[in-house]
Amino acid sequence: MALVVQKYGGSSVSDIEAMRRVAKRVVATREAGNTVVVVVSAMGDTTDELLDMAGALSAQPPAREMDILLSAGERISMALLAMAVGELGVPARAYTGAQAGVLTDSKYGRASIVGVLPERIARAVQTGAVAIVAGFQGINEVEDTTTLGRGGSDTTAVALAAALNADVCEIYTDVDGLFTADPRIVPTAKRVEALSSEETLEMAANGAKILHLRAVEYARRFGVPIHVRSSFSDKTGTWIYDGSREGAFVPPVIAEPPFSGSSAGSAGSADGAESAESADGTGSAASATSATSATDADDPAHAPAARPAVDAVTGRVIAPAGTAAPSSASVGAAHSYAINARAQARPHRSAKEDHVEAPVISGIAHDRSQDKITIVGVPDVPGAAARIFAIVASTDANIDMIVQDVSAEGTGLTNISFTCPDGDSAGARAALEAARGELGFKSLHFNPDIGKLSLVGAGMRSHPGVSAKLFGALSEAGVNIHMISTSEIRISVVVDDAVLDEAVRAVHSAFGLDAQAAEAVVYGGTGR
């Protein structure tokens, strides 16, 4: 069976009844023969309530103490869920981020993961317990608690899945997967069965809230398959995986040849076995294993005396004392099996699809969390842009889109516009105004009332007409465009916030993404 890492968001564990519902799902996954590790977010609005209390006490609370405070929400969730799972007769152990071995840098409030050493988690699951980990947090080099900022729990789950060599990381939300648009804006949005990591990165970077960009980047880097599902239904959700895995991946499923033996079952369940999963992630390779065992019994010459073990933390094959180490041929066979199993696990596109090289539009993402800053009258000389964005970078602001106008004739001056998250714009503006004398620009304009719409899909660069259809749909809807940015699989435009919803609906219909009837449901109300 499989080693499964499950992450449950705040809406999935919002109250006691929600905890019981999640506990039943966790137990059902384990009873299906899988090894289960769970990552949880804080219950409902707990984090917001903690922020409000801190704000009532201090105008500028210390960052270190804020991290200690905000990490409490996830610790409450992990303990309660462990109790709920235990009440169903399954042993469960709760762990903080530090106990789980999530190591971070020292940027309080927005720490980054620098390593994961999940020894305690591996030991817990080897004893048959469900390990439940507090997301969103870790520990730095001086053993202070840190929080990971936006997308922290998703990133924690993916990081643990990578470190444990898990077969899948399931992200449970209050929506039945990823849809072609936000179902709260487009009720007829269709569920996407499978996406590549690259497409998902573009969707997440441009406003899709189901998955956070950091988590997708981490999963892509370490080859972790992600399965996005709803904790409120049993629908199949959306698979995100490229079919590749970096490094020497030898999955614990090697109960198949060439490593079948009497100890295979116990080793596989302890370390997290690979399985040829069905589209909903619940299937197994039991039939294949049975067939293989029968073959080996008929031909003892092909059955090794003992099965090398698989280290639960590193995923490497190790040979216990008295056991022959696996040969290069046997390891190659294990790799081949892993590739085939994963290929079977992923949903396949229908044979009825259009020409294979036709542009495939995956969906529409939108984002209201950006502000636009325009610097007017910048000297059009080498190094001017470099200095501007060095100043912006010094404020820790993340730049999204950048547009530079053609230098006005005879003036030697140009305008530079960029967008950044609304939480970063105040610091960037203040720093630029302070450096006006050095930079030599005439004025700075600020527009917080913008929205970004992004069309994401493969084949855009090699197929004419995609841009024309996008801009034609916006024109017919009376939507004016402020900025344009493109990549091989994405076209983004900045428009007025007031018309963003209408723009999303117009583009969604123009590209034929509407379903016959409304199928998307936001169960918890957050869209996460």
Q: For 278-299, what is the mean pLDDT?
A: 38
Asked if residue 361 is part of any domain, the answer here is: no
Residue 111: give its domain's CATH number.
3.40.1160.10
Asked if residue 33 is part of any domain, the answer here is: yes
Query: Is the Cβ–Cβ distance between 238 and 190 less than 8 Å?
Result: no
Q: Do residues 154 and 284 share a domain? A: no
Helix axis angle for 63-70 and 46-57, nearest 10°, is: 150
Given this model, what pLDDT does residue 287 score?
A: 35
Q: Please choose, from the candidates 456, 455, 432, the residue with its C-alpha nearest in 3D space to the C-alpha of residue 444.
A: 432
User: What is the number of alpha carbons within 13 Å of residue 102 lying toward its C-beta?
Assistant: 29
Highest mean pLDDT among 159-168, 234-243, 274-283: 159-168
> pLDDT class for 187, splitting at 50, 70, 90?
confident
Highest mean pLDDT among 239-253, 381-395, 475-489: 381-395
Asked if residue 481 is part of any domain, the answer here is: no
Highest mean pLDDT among 141-155, 181-195, 427-441: 427-441
What φ, ψ does residue 229 adopt, rounded to 5°?
-140, 170
Given this model, what pLDDT does residue 80 score?
A: 97
> In whole angstroms, what is the distance from residue 201 CA to residue 208 CA?
10
Ramachandran quadrant class, 267 (left: phi over 0; alpha: psi -120 to 50; beta: rest)? alpha
Domains in the chain, number: 2
Report percent pLDDT > 70 for the chain.
75
Q: For 163-182, what is the mean pLDDT?
A: 89
**In the predicted model, what is the mean pLDDT of the chain?**
79
Q: Do residues 166 and 276 share a domain? A: no
pTM for the full predicted model: 0.66
Whether the per-residue pLDDT at 238 is higher than 60: the answer is: yes
Asked if residue 456 is part of any domain, the answer here is: no
* Single-letter amino acid code for the residue at 293: S
Q: Do residues 169 and 273 share a domain? A: no
Show the domain range for 280.
Answer: 264-345
The CA-atom distances, in angstroms, between 290 and each of 285, 294, 481 are 9, 6, 61
Q: Do residues 162 and 275 share a domain? A: no
pLDDT per residue as tens digits for the range 318-346? 444 554 554 555 555 554 554 455 445 54
Asked if residue 350 is part of any domain, the answer here is: no
Whether the per-residue pLDDT at 314 is higher than 80: the answer is: no
Torsion angle (degrees, nearest 10) of CA 457, 458, 463, 465: 0
For residue 483, give the H/E element and its range.
strand 483-487
Asked if residue 499 is part of any domain, the answer here is: no
Whether the per-residue pLDDT at 43 is higher than 70: the answer is: yes
Q: Do residues 47 and 169 share a domain? A: yes
Torsion angle (degrees, nearest 10) of CA 79, 82, 87, 92: -140
Given this model, what pLDDT does residue 527 score?
A: 54
Question: Of 289, 320, 345, at which residue does a domain stop?
Answer: 345
Query: Is the Cβ–Cβ distance between 194 and 520 less than 8 Å?
Result: no
Q: Please choose, from the candidates 401, 387, 403, the residue with its C-alpha nearest in 3D space to the C-alpha of residue 436.
A: 387
